[in-house]
C-alpha cells in the first residue's frame, strides 16, 4: 500500500502528473529558470487545422460572431463625438456545454482516448468541469470532476452548485471539497488511484484547443469588416483564455490586434481563506486568480503550465463587481442575450474601453458563457446579501470586495482601469528566481524572462539586480 499521507502524496506529485499526462516535462528544462516553451507547444503534434477538425466532429467551435449594435449605440451616446468603437461578441455559449472551455476539453479528451486512458479528470469549480464531462460522454470515457465547493460550514456558492448539477447531468462523478490545500492533495490521490488522464486546464493540449477561437475571431471579423479587429478582450483567471486566443490571432496573421485581459477586482480577498470564500460573487475571472497566475504560472496541476498570460497580454483591465452585474442586465435588455458572468466581465471592460476608441475601430469580446439557476445576477446578489454584503447603487469605485457591491447609477460611470503589468512582471521574475533557486542567470534565462514578461532587457536586468542576482 502506498503512503497516502499529505506529505507523501505531495512528494509524488511530479511522478503522478507525468503519468497522468503521458508527457515527460523534463526534456523541456534547461536546469535553470528557462524552459523550452515553444517546443512544448509544438509537441501537441497536431496542426491547427487538425485541432479544428477534431472540434467540429465534437460539435465544438464555429460559434456565431454577433455585433452588439444597441450596446455600441449606447456607448456612442455617452462618449465624445467620433468615439465609440463597434462591439462584437463571440457567442461561445453555443458550444455543447455552454462555454469556450469545450475547445480546451475537446483536445484533451481526444488525446486521452487516443492514448488509451479509461477516464479523464479535472480539478475545477468552473465551466471546464462541464466541458470535460460533456466531451468524455461523447467519447465513452469515465469522468471525475474535483471541486473546491464549500466553506467549513458546508455552505457553497450558487454558481459552483450550478456547475456541480451540470457536471453530474453530463454523467460525471463530482467530488466536492472545502476550500484549502486538500483540493490538490485529493486530486493527486484520485489521479493515482484511477490512472485517469489529467485533462488539465494548463496542459499544452488544452491551450492548443483555444487557438481555434482566436483564429476564428480574426478571420470572421476580417471577412465581415475587411480588417482584423483592433482589440480582443478575454476574461482572465488562469491565463489559458488569453494564451490560446492570442496564439490563434497570431496564426491568423492578426499580429497588430491587441489582446487585452480583463478581471473582476477582488483586491483584499484571499482565495484560500475559509472566511473570504463566500464573500466573493465571482468564482472565476477575477484578480484573486488572474494576478497570482500571471506572477506564478507554474503553480498548477502540471509541471509546466502552457498558460503564460504575460507573454501575450498587451494590457490588463480590471472592473468592479457591481459593474459586471450591471452590464449583464444591459446585455440581456438591450441585446436579448442572457449570458453568464465570465464573458460579461470582458464585456464590461469592452464597454468602458469602447468609449475611448474611435467609431471606425472594432473590439471583440472573446466569449460568452451559458447562464443558469446559480449563475444569473439575482441568486448571486441574494447570496451576497445573506453573507452580509451591502448592495446599493452609487459610484463603483467605492466598491469594497467582501463588504459591498456598488452598481453604477449610469452607464457613463463604467471605467477603464489598468493593472500595473510592470509590477506583476517584477513579481514574476522574483518568483522565477526563487523557484529555480539561482544566484546567477544564464543568457538563455535572460532571453526567456524577456519573452515571458514582454519587457526589454533593461527592465529584466533591473529586476534581477534588485534581487541581488548576478547577470550573465
Output the pLDDT for position 333.
97
Bridging pattern class, strands 315-319 and 258-264: parallel
Whole-prediction pTM value? 0.96
Beta-carbon contacts of residue 98 (< 8 Å; ≥ 6 apart) = 127, 130, 166, 369, 370
Contacts of 299 (CB under 8 A, 6+ apart): 292, 293
Q: What confidence score (pLDDT) does residue 180 get?
A: 84
Question: pLDDT confidence of 1, banded at 50, 70, 90?
Answer: confident
**% of the chain exceeding 90 in pLDDT:** 93
Q: What is the pLDDT of residues 99-153, one digit of tens each?
A: 999 999 999 999 999 999 999 999 998 899 999 999 999 999 999 999 999 999 9
Q: What is the pLDDT of residue 373?
A: 81
The rounded distance, in Å, linking the Cα atoms of 22 and 115 is 8
Ordered structural domains, the chain, with CATH: 6-53+99-204 (3.40.50.1100), 59-97+205-413 (3.40.50.1100), 434-466 (no CATH)
Q: Are 320 and 352 in contact (CB under 8 A)?
A: no
- Interval 155-172 mean pLDDT: 92
- Rounded CA-CA distance 460/453 in Å is 8
pLDDT tens digits along 388-444: 999 999 999 999 999 999 999 999 999 999 999 999 999 999 999 999 999 999 999
Q: Which three cell numbers stand for residue 437?
A: 533557486
Q: Give the CB-side neighbour count of residue 470, counting CA atoms within 13 A.
A: 6
Joined grid coordinates for residue 85:
468603437
How does pLDDT run across 441-469, given as a tens digit for each residue?
999 999 999 999 999 999 999 999 999 99
Tell me what the mean pLDDT of segment 32-44 comes to: 96
For residues 186 and 145, the answer to whether their CB atoms sit within 8 Å is no
Average pLDDT, the chain: 96
Give the pLDDT of residue 182.
87
pLDDT in tens, 254-285: 999 999 999 999 999 998 899 999 999 998 89
**Per-residue model confidence (pLDDT) at position 70:** 98
What's the whole-number mean pLDDT along residues 32-60?
Answer: 96
Name the pLDDT band for 51 (thresholds 50, 70, 90): very high
In the block, which residue shows the cell 533593461? 458
184-189 mean pLDDT: 94
pLDDT score at 181: 83
Which whole number is the average pLDDT over 77-97? 97
181 vs 278, more confident: 278
Amino acid at each position: 500500500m502506498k503512503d497516502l499521507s499529505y506529505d507523501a502524496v505531495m512528494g509524488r506529485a511530479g511522478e503522478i502528473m507525468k503519468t497522468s499526462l503521458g508527457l515527460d516535462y523534463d526534456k523541456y528544462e534547461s536546469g535553470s529558470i528557462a524552459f523550452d516553451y515553444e517546443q512544448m507547444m509544438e509537441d501537441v503534434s497536431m496542426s491547427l487545422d487538425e485541432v479544428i477538425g477534431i472540434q467540429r466532429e465534437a460539435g465544438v467551435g464555429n460559434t456565431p460572431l454577433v455585433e452588439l449594435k444597441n450596446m455600441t449605440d449606447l456607448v456612442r451616446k455617452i462618449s465624445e463625438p467620433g468615439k465609440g468603437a463597434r462591439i462584437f461578441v463571440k457567442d461561445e455559449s453555443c458550444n455543447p456545454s455552454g462555454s469556450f472551455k469545450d475547445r480546451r476539453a475537446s483536445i484533451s479528451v481526444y488525446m486521452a482516448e487516443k492514448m488509451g486512458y479509461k477516464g479523464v479528470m479535472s480539478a475545477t469549480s468552473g465551466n471546464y468541469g462541464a466541458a470535460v464531462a460533456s466531451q468524455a460522454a461523447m467519447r465513452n470515457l469515465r469522468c471525475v470532476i474535483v471541486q473546491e465547493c464549500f466553506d467549513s460550514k458546508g455552505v457553497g456558492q450558487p454558481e459552483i452548485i450550478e456547475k456541480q448539477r451540470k457536471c453530474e447531468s453530463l454523467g460525471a462523478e463530482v467530488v466536492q471539497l472545502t476550500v484549502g490545500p486538500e483540493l490538490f492533495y485529493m486530486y493527486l490521490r484520485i489521479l493515482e488511484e484511477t490512472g485517469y488522464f489529467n485533462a488539465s486546464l494548463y496542459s499544452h493540449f488544452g491551450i492548443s484547443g483555444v487557438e481555434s477561437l482566436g483564429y476564428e475571431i480574426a478571420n470572421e471579423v476580417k471577412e465581415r469588416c475587411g480588417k482584423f479587429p483592433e482589440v480582443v478582450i478575454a476574461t482572465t483567471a488562469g491565463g489559458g483564455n488569453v494564451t490560446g486566443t492570442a496564439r490563434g490571432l497570431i496564426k491568423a496573421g492578426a499580429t497588430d490586434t491587441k489582446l487585452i485581459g480583463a478581471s473582476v477586482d477582488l483586491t483584499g480577498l484571499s482565495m484560500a481563506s475559509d472566511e473570504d470564500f463566500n464573500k466573493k460573487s465571482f468564482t472565476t475571472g477575477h484578480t484573486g486568480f488572474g494576478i497570482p497566475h500571471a506572477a506564478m504560472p507554474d503553480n498548477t496541476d502540471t509541471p509546466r503550465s502552457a498558460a503564460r498570460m504575460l507573454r501575450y497580454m498587451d494590457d490588463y483591465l480590471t472592473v468592479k463587481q457591481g459593474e459586471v452585474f450591471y452590464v449583464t442586465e444591459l446585455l440581456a435588455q438591450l441585446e436579448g442575450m442572457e449570458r453568464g458572468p465570465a464573458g460579461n466581465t470582458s464585456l464590461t471592460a469592452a464597454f468602458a474601453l469602447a468609449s475611448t476608441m474611435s467609431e471606425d475601430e472594432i473590439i471583440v469580446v472573446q466569449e460568452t458563457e451559458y447562464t443558469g439557476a446559480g449563475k444569473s445576477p439575482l441568486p448571486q446578489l441574494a447570496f451576497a446579501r445573506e453573507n452580509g454584503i451591502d448592495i446599493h447603487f452609487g459610484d463603483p469605485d467605492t466598491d469594497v470586495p467582501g463588504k459591498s457591491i456598488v452598481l453604477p447609477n449610469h452607464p457613463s460611470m463604467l471605467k477603464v482601469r489598468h493593472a500595473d503589468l510592470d509590477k506583476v512582471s517584477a513579481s514574476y521574475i522574483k518568483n522565477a528566481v526563487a523557484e529555480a533557486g539561482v544566484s546567477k542567470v544564464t543568457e538563455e534565462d535572460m532571453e526567456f524572462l524577456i519573452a515571458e514578461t514582454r519587457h526589454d532587457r533593461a527592465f529584466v536586468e533591473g529586476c534581477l539586480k534588485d534581487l541581488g542576482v548576478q547577470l550573465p
